Amino acid sequence: TTPILFDCDPGHDDAIALVMAHRSPAIELLGVTTTCGNAEVEKTTANALRVLDFIGARDVPVAAGCHRPLARPLVLGTADGPSGLEGSPYLPPPSRGPIAQHAVDFLAERLLGAPEPLTVVATGPLCNLGLLVLKHPEVLPRIRRLIWMGGVFYRKSEIITPTEFNAFCDPEALRLVLDARLPITMVGLDVTMQVLIEAPHYAELAAIDTPLGRLVHDWLRFYEKLHRNSMGVGGAMHDPLALALAIDPSLVRTRPAHIAVELAGTTTFGATVADFWRERGEDDNAQIAHEVDADRFFKLMFDLLRESPA
């Protein structure tokens, strides 16, 4: 099993990733840290706790993190509604609070205390990881791999945005992480917009006749609205795909690149600009996911939602 630390901003797709992380026998979920992003950090923290309650994971520590990006005003995501997890009115308030430690100190402590370097999965703006670089540089070699959902690199097909939300929300944090040369795998819109929830997936979900199956179904019906209205497609499983790579890295193909992040643009800040050919004269600083086996990903996701917890 792969022990992981999971930094997220739930968010419907973060919440599904959290369920997968807890349920996968291939993963040991050591702790969850939260950041602002899809909603304010108080809400994303409560959402993480509510989801963990629902799946019977009250023993997983949750540490709340940054309430705003490092150098910019907070911009909230829009897909998940005001609570960050709309469409789940029957999810009760959390039974417990986060631990007393800040996310960044919790991450540092767990990284230092682990017998081996750890995998960190991050599915929100990189506020906490950026702050970790500043506050605890000594622990950075303890990160075996950082798998991050973020960025957009190829500008293929209908992807019309110059920036992806997690990069756009805190581009300075991303820059700090890149400059720290962490071993990062970027799972950007190029691949996550290829794992969309469409009619056959809803049919598969409807067949999961459990409280969790129904909850995820209701989440997705809310979550897909933005995609459906703007692009005519179903909800993208951005964060579940990133998490899935901690279970099975062969779900995507990656290639190395040097990634620069635009900090000075007016309409393009947060853009992740890939150089695959060392034209900038810089060494590669990231692995970029560029092809995904969508069928295998969905099989993994639905298997984890279907199975009774171990």
The DSSP secondary structure of 70-85, one letter per residue, reads SSS-----STT-TTSS
Between 139 and 289, CB nearer to Ca ion: 289
> Which residue bears the tokens 């309650």?
53
From CA 171, how far away is CA 150, in angstroms rounded?
11
Q: Active site includes 238?
A: yes
Binding flag, residue 218, ligand BDR (CB under 6 A): no
Contact yes or no for 26/1 (Cβ under 8 A):
yes
From CA 155, how far away is CA 163, in angstroms rounded?
10
Residue numbers at the binding site for Ca ion (CB under 5 A) = 9, 11, 14, 123-124, 239
Which of 128, 166, 185, 272 is in the footprint of ligand BDR by CB under 6 A?
166
Binding flag, residue 219, ligand BDR (CB under 6 A): no
From CA 241, how far away is CA 275, in angstroms rounded?
24
Helix axes 211-231, 294-306, angle to 10 degrees: 150
Binding flag, residue 164, ligand BDR (CB under 6 A): yes
Binding track over 10-29 against ligand BDR, x by CB under 6 A = -x-xx---------------
Between 38 and 287, CB nearer to Ca ion: 38
Binding flag, residue 77, ligand BDR (CB under 6 A): yes
Q: How far is the CB of 116 from Ca ion (least distance, A)?
A: 27
Binding range to ligand BDR, per CB under 6 A, among 7-15, 25-33, 209-217, 265-273: 7-15
Q: How far is the CB of 33 from ligand BDR (least distance, A)?
A: 14
Which of 33, 34, 35, 38 is in the footprint of ligand BDR by CB under 6 A?
38
Contact partners, residue 59, CB within 8 Å, separation at least 6:
none
Q: Active-site residue among 12, 102, 238, 290?
A: 238
Which of 4, 140, 149, 176 is in the footprint of ligand BDR by CB under 6 A?
149
Question: CB pairs under 8 A, 24+ apart, for 105-108?
Answer: 105/63, 105/135, 105/136, 106/31, 106/33, 106/61, 106/63, 107/5, 107/7, 107/33, 107/63, 107/132, 107/136, 107/139, 108/132, 108/135, 108/136, 108/139
From CA 152, how far away is CA 261, in angstroms rounded?
11
Between 33 and 142, CB nearer to ligand BDR: 33
Binding flag, residue 65, ligand BDR (CB under 6 A): no
> What does residue 235 show for φ and ψ, rounded to 5 degrees?
-65, 135
Binding range to ligand BDR, per CB under 6 A, among 160-168, 196-204, 271-279, 280-288: 160-168
Contact yes or no for 129/20 (Cβ under 8 A):
no
Residues in contact with ligand BDR by CB under 6 A are 11, 13-14, 38, 77, 79, 123-124, 149, 164-166, 238-239
Question: Catalytic residues, which ones?
Answer: 238
